[in-house]
Structures are given as C-alpha cells and as structure tokens.
C-alpha cells in the first residue's frame, strides 16, 4: 500500500539559511498535517490543509510557511533557521476524520 512520502529524509543547514521540506500524501487523502518533534519531545502540530486550503495553524513560527499544491503535495518552507529548529518534521495525511498516517519524517539539523 502507498504511504506518505517525505523528502529529503535528512537535511543539514546553517543558521539563517532556508529549508524546504516536501510531503506527498497517500493518494485520495484530503488532509495534510505537519508536525515538529524536538529531541525527546512529543510531536507538536504546526499546520494543516484540507483540500488544498489551509485549515488550521498551531505553534508555527512566523518564519515558517506552508502550502498545498494542486497535486495535493505540500511543502513546508522554513527561513532564517535557528538552532532550535533542529527537529524531526513529520507530515501526515488522512481521509476525512480517519486516522492520520505519518511519513518517515525529515530530520533537520541546523548548525
């Protein structure tokens, strides 16, 4: 069965640089979520999209933005990176109110 695809799997950036993370949801899923998981922490909700429209924002810094494209893939753009942005970033997709299936995550390291 198809799963959520995230790229890249690992990313190393310097402070103040920009990063773009990509997510390809499971086909026919209508909702995409982004979560951030710091070291030893639980995942924290950042933002979600339903049918390509932003539906909710969580604790997402103003330096971050995201969008969902016509083919349903989503991108999380992160600018002016800080050391504290180092984390595992998960994308998840779901069909309506059903369970969210998570991608393998992108491990971002900011040096």
Partner 1 sequence: AQKVTQAQTEISVVEKEDVTLDCVYETRDTTYYLFWYKQPPSGELVFLIRRNSFDEQNEISGRYSWNFQKSTSSFNFTITASQVVDSAVYFCALSERTGGSNYKLTFGKGTLLTVNP
Residues that bind partner 1 (CB under 8 A): 30-31, 33, 35, 41-45, 48, 50, 55-56, 58, 88, 90, 92, 94, 96-105, 107
Query: Which residue, 14 or 96, is less far from partner 1 as judged by CB?
Result: 96
Compute the least distance from the CB of residue 102 to partner 1, in Å: 4
CB of 81 to partner 1, least distance (A): 20
Please give the structure tokens belonging to residue 101: 């299936």
Burial classification of residue 87, based on how many CB atoms lie within 10 Å of its CB (0-12 exposed, 13-18 middle, 19 or more buried): buried
In whole angstroms, give the CA distance from residue 80 to residue 20: 12
Q: Name the residue nearer to partner 1 (CB basis): 78 or 106.
A: 106
Nearer to partner 1, 75 or 88 (CB): 88
Nearer to partner 1, 79 or 88 (CB): 88
Q: How far apart, in whole angstroms, are the C-alpha atoms of residue 16 and residue 50? A: 31
Report the C-alpha gap between 96 and 108 in whole angstroms.
Answer: 29
């Amino acid at each position: 069965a198809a799963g959520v695809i995230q790229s890249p799997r690992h990313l190393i950036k310097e402070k103040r640089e920009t990063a773009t993370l990509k997510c390809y949801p499971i086909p026919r899923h209508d909702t995409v979520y982004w979560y951030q998981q710091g070291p030893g922490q639980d995942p924290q909700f950042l933002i979600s999209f339903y049918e390509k429209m932003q539906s909710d924002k969580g604790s997402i810094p103003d330096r971050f933005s995201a969008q969902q494209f016509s083919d349903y893939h989503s991108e999380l753009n992160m600018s002016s990176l800080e050391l504290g942005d180092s984390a595992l970033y998960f994308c998840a997709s779901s069909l309506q109110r059903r369970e969210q299936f998570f991608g393998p995550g992108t491990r971002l390291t900011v040096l």
